[in-house]
Structure 1
Amino acid sequence: MKQTIILLFLFLSCYVNAQGMLTKFGIYAANKSFAISYYEKQGREVATIPMIHVNKPAFYEMTKRKIDSLRNDGFVVFYEGINSDVTDSLQLDTLMRKFRHVTGFALMDYMDSENEAFKSLQNKKYVSQSDVDYGVNLDTDHHADLYLEQMIEMFEKRYGKIVLNNCDYKTSLGKKYKCTKIDENKEYYILNGIRDQHVLNKIEQSDAQKILVVFGRNHIKDIYSKIQSKGWRFQKEKFKRVLDF
């Protein structure tokens, strides 16, 4: 059985520790600057929706309306999510610990009661993207992200084998991580570099005339510059102010 792990992660700067950036202020600031971007190339169109993975219900009600509207207009939806085909629990546990060794955080829902890193957000005002209908249909829309095992394989091919230490094994995945110093370049590579390139490759290889990319805000910021280098012309709709936050 395929085990799906949704990566619920937002940071406003690629070079800041993830645990310090998903805050009430960061969510509010991102909501205020929400906008859907559009790109055109040789008669094809790409739209991007920047997701914020923990937010108020009204945000996801808004994204659902937008995604449903664009899908009805002929857009094929490409969505984010780190999946895994690994069925052996010990092997999957090792992969998740290797991921944490590089990034400093575990692949866990921010609203998981065992995720101590984000206790301040675990209240009635906020909900997790994975717990609500935010507009993506996992059965009919297109998964355009890497698998966890692919990410680790690609990372180790470039940087060498990830060697877990005793602290890595003893520290539960939900605990705050202090086992090693995080290399920001390596963190960026595994979180953004290879994943953003993957979705861009999917766009280029697709025969769909209209594609809607529903990915985390930081990925969309990276795609903004990278997609234009491939000849896509940028245009943007007016900013949609998210009220009542």
Structure 2
Amino acid sequence: MKNKVVISLIAILTLIACKAPSLTVRYSKEISLKNIDFGQKEVFFIPMTHIGEDSYYSDISKQIDSMKSQGFKVYYESIANPIDLDSTSNDLSFRKLRKINGWNIFNRYNSKTGVFQNGVQLKNEKGLKLQRNKELGIDEFDRKVDIPNYKLISLFEHKYGEIELSKCDYRTNLNSSEYKCKKIQKELTKKFSNEFILNLRNENLINEIETSNDKKILVLYGAGHFKGLKELIEK
């Protein structure tokens, strides 16, 4: 299973949980570089839009290259499971993630038509592309600072109870363009999004920055994380 596909799509597809035939996505055309006060450390944040125009990602790539030349290390997000996690646990964790969100997490996007695999179309938008870290210049010298999916699921279940998969969940291939199985309660879906996808990962990111020996850090995380990060830092 190619976990990297999930990472490009997860922030986008939360918008598609309503299963509407079309939707409008808000995406940035210009990059924004925000300074975060971390005392002795220089920390900057680029609020990422995970789908956008080629020129947007080209500008981000140039910004990354410039800051790396100044000694900055990139901290980026990815809830992909570690490659040494056994295939059964990996598969189970993403089936449970699909159960929580209620949509196909591997829903591929056609940039030429502006249509996702499940038929959802972006209104009046074609030619957009998904964020690809390799194209941005992120490499093995940068740091993935995040919580893998299997841990997020485990922590969620510890607090709210086990996510029970049905026969439908097991029979429906993770790569299927449709997902018609019963999802969990909407309230629990919202709790997972707010408490784990946003808050817990924000707390983890702040802790990693505070305890790191890196003095110059460039954070690439989804734009939806920035407000929560600022609030946690300013407490």
Contact 1:4 1:84 in 2 (8 A): no
In the TM superposition, residue 27 of structure 1 has moved relative to its aligned partner by 2.8
Q: 1:104 to 1:191 in 2, by over 3 A?
A: farther
- 1:64 matches 2:65: no
Contact 2:104 2:179 in 1 (8 A): no
Q: 1:119 to 1:93 in 2, by over 3 A?
A: farther
Contact 2:48 2:222 in 1 (8 A): yes
2:182 aligned residue: 179
1:89 aligned residue: 87
TM-score (norm 2): 0.79
In the TM superposition, residue 201 of structure 1 has moved relative to its aligned partner by 1.1
Q: 1:215 to 1:131 in 2, by over 3 A?
A: closer
> Which amino acid in 2 is paired with 1:182?
K
Measured in 2, the distance between the counterparts of 1:215 and 1:131 equals 11
Q: Which has the higher contact order (CA 8 A, sep 6+)?
A: 1
Comparing 211-220 with 160-169, greater Cα deviation is found at 160-169
In the TM superposition, residue 83 of structure 1 has moved relative to its aligned partner by 2.0
Measured in 2, the distance between the counterparts of 1:39 and 1:60 equals 22
Give SS of 1:83's match. Answer: coil
In the TM superposition, residue 48 of structure 1 has moved relative to its aligned partner by 0.5
In the TM superposition, residue 131 of structure 1 has moved relative to its aligned partner by 7.4
In the TM superposition, residue 65 of structure 1 has moved relative to its aligned partner by 0.9
2:166 aligned residue: 165
Q: 1:225 to 1:110 in 2, by over 3 A?
A: farther
In the TM superposition, residue 162 of structure 1 has moved relative to its aligned partner by 1.1
In the TM superposition, residue 42 of structure 1 has moved relative to its aligned partner by 2.6
In the TM superposition, residue 188 of structure 1 has moved relative to its aligned partner by 2.0
Equivalent residue in structure 2 for 1:128, among 130, 139, 150: 130
> Which amino acid in 1 is paired with 2:101?
T
Measured in 2, the distance between the counterparts of 1:203 and 1:158 equals 26
> Which amino acid in 2 is paired with 1:26?
V
Consecutive unaligned residues in structure 1, runs of 5 or more: 230-245
> Which amino acid in 1 is paired with 2:7?
L
Contact 2:43 2:219 in 1 (8 A): yes
2:77 aligned residue: 80
Measured in 1, the distance between the counterparts of 2:138 and 2:119 equals 27
> Which amino acid in 2 is paired with 1:27?
R
1:148 aligned residue: 149
In the TM superposition, residue 216 of structure 1 has moved relative to its aligned partner by 1.1
Measured in 1, the distance between the counterparts of 2:2 and 2:108 equals 22
Mapping of residues 1-245 of structure 1, within 5 Å: 4=4, 6-8=6-8, 9-10=10-11, 18-19=15-16, 25-28=24-27, 30-31=28-29, 34-85=31-82, 87-108=85-106, 110-111=108-109, 115-116=117-118, 118-120=120-122, 125-130=127-132, 133-137=135-139, 139-173=140-174, 174-176=177-179, 179-180=182-183, 181-183=185-187, 184-229=190-235
Measured in 1, the distance between the counterparts of 2:231 and 2:77 equals 19
Superposed CA offset, 1:91-146 (max 9, x none): 3221101111222334426427984164548x860212127612322x11001011
Contact 1:5 1:84 in 2 (8 A): no
Q: 1:202 to 1:118 in 2, by over 3 A?
A: farther
> Which amino acid in 2 is paired with 1:175?
E
TM-score (norm 1): 0.76
Q: 1:90 to 1:41 in 2, by over 3 A?
A: closer
